[in-house]
Chains A and B, each alone.
Chain A
Amino acid sequence: MRTIHVGEITKNIKEMCIEANHFLSQDMDIAMKHAVSVEKAPLGCQILEQLQENLQIAGEDMIPICQDTGMAVIFLKIGQEVHFEGGLLENAVNEGVRQGYTEGYLRKSVVKDPLLRENTKDNTPAVIHYEIVEGDKVTATVAPKGFGSENMSRIFMLKPSDGIDGVKQAILTAVKDAGPNACPPMVVGVGIGGTFEKCALLAKKALTRPVNEHSEIPYVKEMEEEMLQKINCLGIGPGGLGGTVTALAVNVETYPTHIAGLPVAVNICCHVNRHVTRII
């Protein structure tokens, strides 16, 4: 048994919120630099170069990469040997978000009620996903999600007979419809299987997987590669203004499902695709 004071969680979440909004993760940084070298459209290249300049200014002057600093999505993998003290874990996480967004000059984009729409003024609450795992550590991933791309995400409840072609078509449909709205070049997170909510969560998780890593399942890896190639010949391009780099990666996660179903969720993310992970 290992005891962790929840203050430790608060401190880390705060720092991670600020870090994720000012610095690209290494995998995204490599992918964005690579995109400049392969884009064929002159305007597309110009936009990708501006995005490089934007990243440089963000890091040097501590201005958020994007003004939409997102709703804080937080994945916590909690080792079952961990015991928390000092208060409720959920409160500690939200306190970290509150401090990060307030002290880090991040935008407060959360409304308390989806229809009454009053801003909570501190970007809380976060959306927190807990998982109990082996060991005595906590692995925290902070993935603030902007809603330009979140709004373009889709769930398709396909039939088993739709098969792999139906899944591919669903992915292409979601990306085509998203077009310029999702701030391309985008990262496409796909969840296949499970239930209605499970496939959505898989798609979200897929976005936190490094964009230079493929699925370990051979046919899924093949599908990731094929879909990236197909998406990049849709012509959408950087900023949606035409070009050959529409997506930087397609990350697919799968899960067992019911004999009657084939749920597919497509969670689209912009070129910032913030994700920071720490082991506490």
Chain B
Amino acid sequence: MDKHIYTPLTEEKARELRAGDYVYITGTIFTARDAAHKRMQEALDAGENLPIELKDAIIYYMGPSPAREGRPIGSAGPTTASRMDKYAPTLLDLGLKGMIGKGKRSQEVRDAIVRNGAVYFAAVGGAGALLSKSITASELVAYEDLGTEAIRRLEVVNFPVIVVADAEGNNLYETAIREYASESTCEL
């Protein structure tokens, strides 16, 4: 089912989303990937504030290629989410409501999604040129020295994603694959 959502992503909005929904996001989202997550965890461990407000926020696991002149961003597709699994439950417990990436999540992350009424979206991996067209602005927020891994604030318009893991504990990767798997012919 096609849905349009506007940020901030409140728990109420997140709970309405179901695995398999095709969602267009409009509003503000943040980028953070491996190194930025490590820094955020270190900041939390040291009792410091995070550079972004997590409440009702969406984090996009993405490190863009450089923007050409006159463009807000370069190629901007999702990176593999599982590398952020170590950090995601803590951030979800602090109010993060949405994550955009690609690939499987751990049981711990899926539990944290259910516990907090959050959602994990997949964007199409390897469609970075197409996805960049839904990003209208990009601004550096923190950790500039990390280059492509810095935290950025993005303005997006109808950014296309698919709900993979929802607040009810559904997981599209499992159900969709089962639908098209023909086990008998797969056997050796």
User: Nearest chain B CB to A116's CB is how many angstroms away?
Assistant: 12
Residues from chain A with a CB closer than 8 A to the CB of B13 are none
Q: Would A180 and B126 count as touching, CB distance under 8 A?
A: no
> Is A40 part of the contact surface with B, judged by Cβ < 8 Å?
yes
User: Nearest chain B CB to A119's CB is how many angstroms away?
Assistant: 5
User: Nearest chain A CB to B90's CB is how many angstroms away?
Assistant: 21
In the docked arrangement, what's the CA distance between A250 and B74, Å? 31
User: Nearest chain B CB to A234's CB is how many angstroms away?
Assistant: 6
B interface residues, how many (CB within 8 angstroms): 48
Summarize A's interface: helix, strand, loop or mixed: loop
Q: Would B181 and A240 count as touching, CB distance under 8 A?
A: no
Residues from chain A with a CB closer than 8 A to the CB of B173 are 179-180, 240-241
> Is A79 part of the contact surface with B, judged by Cβ < 8 Å?
no
> Is B51 part of the contact surface with A, judged by Cβ < 8 Å?
no
Report the 5 A-B pairs with minimum CB-CB distance, sorted nearest first.
A242-B176, A235-B181, A181-B103, A183-B125, A235-B180
User: Nearest chain B CB to A91's CB is how many angstroms away?
Assistant: 23
User: Which residues in A have some Cβ–Cβ distance to B below 8 Å?
Assistant: 40-41, 43-44, 47, 50-51, 53-55, 57-58, 61-69, 105-109, 117, 119, 121, 148, 151, 165, 168-169, 172, 179-181, 183, 229-230, 233-237, 239-244, 270-272
B129 contact from A61, A180, A241, Cβ within 8 A: A61
Q: Would A50 and B127 count as touching, CB distance under 8 A?
A: yes
User: Nearest chain A CB to B183's CB is how many angstroms away?
Assistant: 8
> Is B40 part of the contact surface with A, judged by Cβ < 8 Å?
no
Q: Would A117 and B35 count as touching, CB distance under 8 A?
A: yes
Q: Would B64 and A67 count as touching, CB distance under 8 A?
A: yes
Q: Would A235 and B133 count as touching, CB distance under 8 A?
A: no
Q: Would B124 and A63 count as touching, CB distance under 8 A?
A: no
Interface string of B17-54 (1 = CB under 8 A from A): 00000000000000000010000000000000000000
User: Nearest chain A CB to B113's CB is how many angstroms away?
Assistant: 17
Q: Within B69-99, which residues are at the interface with A (CB < 8 Å)?
A: 74-77, 79-80, 82
Q: Would A244 and B180 count as touching, CB distance under 8 A?
A: yes
Which of B66, B104, B176, B180 gathers most chain A CB within 10 Å? B180
Q: Would B130 and A179 count as touching, CB distance under 8 A?
A: no
Residues from chain B with a CB closer than 8 A to the CB of A148 are 79-80, 102-103, 125
Q: Within B120-153, which residues are at the interface with A (CB < 8 Å)?
A: 122, 124-133, 146-149
User: Nearest chain B CB to A89's CB is how many angstroms away?
Assistant: 28
In the docked arrangement, what's the CA distance between A67 and B148, Å? 10
Residues from chain B with a CB closer than 8 A to the CB of A230 are 185-186, 188
Closest to A272 in B: B126
